[in-house]
């Protein structure tokens, strides 16, 4: 059957490679679904042994295509409900290699398996109650994590930190909603004039107002965690810029810890940008070395094109390392460079981190004319890209700049945070509903206008964990996963 006609939500036996289709020592093919183990046993050299195997055991044998041996394998058996998907399933460990994996998959297809849809194993785990949606999403975050910090945050969500936080907030909001709905079941007249009753609330004031405000505060903290989580997951664009021969390529090579950019004493050597990925304090950074910006592009059209590309990158950068040559030779400001970086400073001075290079060649206390111009915006980070002096301090400064506007040290230490755009949108929806409810309460509006807003907030939080969901939403979400997960 064409994979386009498959749908999520059935219990058909499915199979997919869980490792890349490439030459390697070992490969794993994952299976799950109704009659998954009997179907594998039908193409296995020791069918009885496999059929009788308890969960969490391993069986050795051969995958057979009738009488032909396809590969020598180990089959790790999992019995539902104590399995990843909650169904009976197995992981087939075979020899790596494209032909081997395709051969095993071909035999499984003939036995009755179909190819899994993207994320279908995790979808089934969610449907069987093995994972909530926040844990399910963390699976793909873990797969795509670029640094230990990103991996750690994804593992925390997989372990349930975000689920517990969201459920705790939702329980508090449900308490506020329940207190509100009590008064909607009675007329105001039934409360008025009776000593000891809550007639003030019945007259229009929001019960559990203090708890509602606490819920709003917790939601805002959670919403604020998104930028930091995205920083650790997606990384940041950091661009090294400045005049020609300031040492940009030397710094690029130093941070990258390999010789990628050509370094000479001739200004304008770098005609185009070059990039590489590094990690600074757990933050994935796309580091870019750019062509120097100056008025007189002596390198001709190629250097001019390089400078134009540099300008485009600088406008998109999360952080610009603006480098100044600290040598004591006569130095005049290059007006083209000053104009461009002045504009960047005017737009967002926090995006510029000035760096003073070649301190190994310059007596302390000296300041070039160009440096004195930029010093009014921020103190320079002193380094020697050639010797490595000051590089560790520069790395700390880079991490500090990138995280400061995203919650700072407190957000970096947080064990829970929202990791996806879907989660962020629902959190903001809950915040908006609660803010509107509190505004109506301040205006003395009746509780029958406030209660629906509280219900919307509860529903948004339930959607984050999957307590409230639709088939279309689930299919769109899991279709973004890789096959075999």
265 pLDDT above the threshold of 60: no
Whether residue 348 sits in one domain with residue 255: yes
Number of domains in the chain: 3
pLDDT of residue 328: 52
Tracing tokens 């050509």 back to the chain, one arrives at 262
What is the number of residues in the chain? 485
Whether residue 245 sits in one domain with residue 210: no
pLDDT of residue 343: 62
87 band by pLDDT with thresholds 50, 70 and 90: very high
Whether residue 264 sits in one domain with residue 220: no
Whether residue 200 sits in one domain with residue 274: no
Q: Would 440 be classed as within a structural domain? A: yes
363 pLDDT above the threshold of 50: yes
Whether residue 321 sits in one domain with residue 192: no
pLDDT of residue 201: 45
Whether residue 278 sits in one domain with residue 194: no
pLDDT of residue 7: 74
Whether residue 91 sits in one domain with residue 32: yes
- For residues 203-227, average pLDDT: 87
The distance in angstroms from the start CA to the end CA of the chain is: 21
pLDDT of residue 361: 80
263 band by pLDDT with thresholds 50, 70 and 90: very low
Q: Would 478 be classed as within a structural domain? A: no
> Is 230:144 a contact under the CB 8 Å cutoff?
no
Question: Which range, 106-110, 265-269, 283-287, has the best average confidence (pLDDT)?
Answer: 106-110
pLDDT of residue 269: 45
Q: Would 366 be classed as within a structural domain? A: yes
409 pLDDT above the threshold of 70: no
Q: Which of 373, 381, 367, 369 is nearest to 340 (CA)?
A: 373
Whether residue 10 sits in one domain with residue 123: yes
Q: 41-45, 355-359, 413-417: which range is least confident on average?
A: 413-417
pLDDT, tens digit, for every residue of 88-130?
Answer: 999 999 999 899 999 999 999 999 999 999 889 999 999 898 9
Question: Which range, 152-156, 336-340, 452-456, has the best average confidence (pLDDT)?
Answer: 452-456
- For residues 391-400, average pLDDT: 92
pLDDT of residue 298: 46
Q: Would 152 be classed as within a structural domain? A: no
SS3 of residue 460 by DSSP = helix
User: What does residue 53 show for φ and ψ, rounded to 5 degrees?
Assistant: -65, 130
Q: Which two tokens mark 167?
A: 């459920």
pLDDT of residue 461: 94
Whether residue 285 sits in one domain with residue 336: yes
Whether residue 243 sits in one domain with residue 227: no
> Could you tell me the CATH number of the domain that includes residue 178?
1.20.120.430
Q: 80-89, 383-392, 397-406: which range is least confident on average?
A: 397-406
Whether residue 371 sits in one domain with residue 245: yes
316 band by pLDDT with thresholds 50, 70 and 90: confident
Q: Who wins on pLDDT, 173 or 407?
A: 173
User: What does residue 250 show for φ and ψ, rounded to 5 degrees?
Assistant: -65, -40
pLDDT of residue 444: 86
> Is 144:232 a contact under the CB 8 Å cutoff?
no
193 pLDDT above the threshold of 50: no
Q: Would 430 be classed as within a structural domain? A: yes
Residue 78's alpha-carbon distances to 18, 52, 101, in angstroms, are 16, 12, 21
Question: Which range, 74-88, 149-163, 176-190, has the best average confidence (pLDDT)?
Answer: 74-88
Q: Who wins on pLDDT, 323 or 39?
A: 39
> Could you tell me the CATH number of the domain that includes residue 278?
3.40.50.300
pLDDT of residue 197: 47
> Could you tell me the CATH number of the domain that includes residue 101?
3.30.1360.120
Q: 73-87, 142-156, 304-318, 405-419: which range is least confident on average?
A: 405-419
Q: Would 395 be classed as within a structural domain? A: no
- What does pLDDT average to over the chain? 81
173 band by pLDDT with thresholds 50, 70 and 90: very high
262 band by pLDDT with thresholds 50, 70 and 90: very low
Q: What percent of the chain has pLDDT over 70?
A: 75
- Among 114, 131, 148, the domain boundary falls at 131
Residue 440's alpha-carbon distances to 31, 131, 453, in angstroms, are 54, 37, 10
Q: What is the H or E stretch that residue 411 is in?
A: helix 408-413
pLDDT of residue 350: 75
pLDDT of residue 453: 94
Q: Which two tokens mark 84?
A: 């990843």
Q: 12-21, 98-107, 246-255: which range is least confident on average?
A: 246-255
Whether residue 241 sits in one domain with residue 219: no
List the domain range (segments joined by +) for residue 105. 3-131
353 pLDDT above the threshold of 60: yes
Q: Would 437 be classed as within a structural domain? A: yes
Q: Who wins on pLDDT, 429 or 140?
A: 429
**Three-class DSSP labels, 180-233:** HHHHHCCCHHHHCCCCCCCHHHHCCCCCCHHHHHHHHHHHHHHHHHHHHHHHHH
Q: Who wins on pLDDT, 9 or 116?
A: 116
Q: Would 431 be classed as within a structural domain? A: yes
Instruction: Kindly report the pTM of this predicted structure.
Output: 0.74
370 band by pLDDT with thresholds 50, 70 and 90: low
């Amino acid at each position: 059957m064409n994979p386009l006609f498959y749908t999520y939500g059935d219990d058909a036996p499915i199979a997919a490679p869980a490792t890349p289709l490439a030459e390697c020592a070992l490969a794993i093919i994952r299976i799950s679904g109704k009659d998954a183990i009997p179907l594998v046993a039908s193409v296995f050299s020791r069918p009885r042994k496999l059929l009788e195997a308890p969960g969490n055991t391993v069986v050795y044998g051969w995958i057979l295509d009738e009488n032909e041996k396809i590969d020598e394998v180990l089959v790790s058996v999992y019995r539902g409900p104590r399995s990843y998907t909650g169904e009976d399933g197995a992981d087939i460990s075979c020899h790596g290699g494209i032909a081997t994996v395709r051969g095993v998959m071909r035999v499984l297809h003939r036995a009755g398996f179909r190819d899994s849809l993207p994320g279908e194993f995790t979808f089934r785990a969610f449907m069987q109650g093995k994972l909530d949606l926040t844990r399910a999403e963390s699976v793909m975050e873990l797969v795509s994590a670029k640094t230990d910090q990103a991996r750690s945050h994804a593992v925390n969500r997989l372990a349930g930190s975000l689920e517990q936080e969201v459920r705790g907030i939702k329980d508090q909001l449900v308490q506020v909603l329940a207190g509100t709905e009590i008064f909607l079941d009675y007329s105001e007249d039934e409360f008025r004039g009776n000593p000891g009753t809550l007639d003030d609330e019945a007259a229009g004031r929001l019960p559990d107002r203090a708890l509602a405000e606490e819920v709003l505060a917790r939601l805002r903290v959670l919403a604020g965690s998104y930028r930091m989580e995205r920083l650790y997951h997606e990384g940041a664009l950091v661009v090294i810029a400045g005049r020609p021969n300031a040492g940009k390529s030397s710094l690029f090579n130093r941070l990258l810890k390999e010789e990628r950019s050509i370094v000479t004493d001739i200004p304008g050597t770098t005609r185009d940008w070059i990039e590489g990925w590094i990690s600074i304090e757990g933050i994935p950074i796309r580091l870019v070395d750019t062509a120097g910006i100056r008025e007189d592009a002596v390198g001709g059209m190629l250097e001019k094109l390089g400078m134009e590309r540099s300008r485009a990158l600088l406008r998109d950068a999360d952080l610009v390392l603006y480098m100044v040559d600290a040598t004591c030779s006569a130095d005049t400001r290059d007006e083209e460079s000053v104009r461009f970086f002045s504009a960047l400073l005017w737009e967002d001075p926090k995006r510029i981190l000035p760096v003073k290079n070649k301190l190994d060649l310059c007596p302390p206390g000296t300041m070039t004319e160009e440096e004195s111009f930029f010093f009014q915006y921020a103190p320079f980070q002193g380094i020697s890209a050639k010797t490595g002096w000051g590089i560790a301090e520069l790395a700390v400064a880079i991490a500090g700049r990138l995280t400061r506007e995203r919650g700072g040290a407190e957000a970096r230490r947080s064990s829970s945070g929202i990791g996806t755009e879907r989660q962020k949108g629902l959190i903001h929806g809950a915040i908006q509903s609660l803010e509107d409810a509190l505004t109506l309460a301040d205006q003395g509006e009746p509780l029958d206008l406030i209660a629906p807003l509280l219900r919307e907030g509860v529903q948004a939080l339930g959607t984050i964990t999957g307590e409230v969901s639709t088939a279309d939403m689930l299919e769109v979400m899991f279709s973004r996963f890789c096959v075999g997960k």
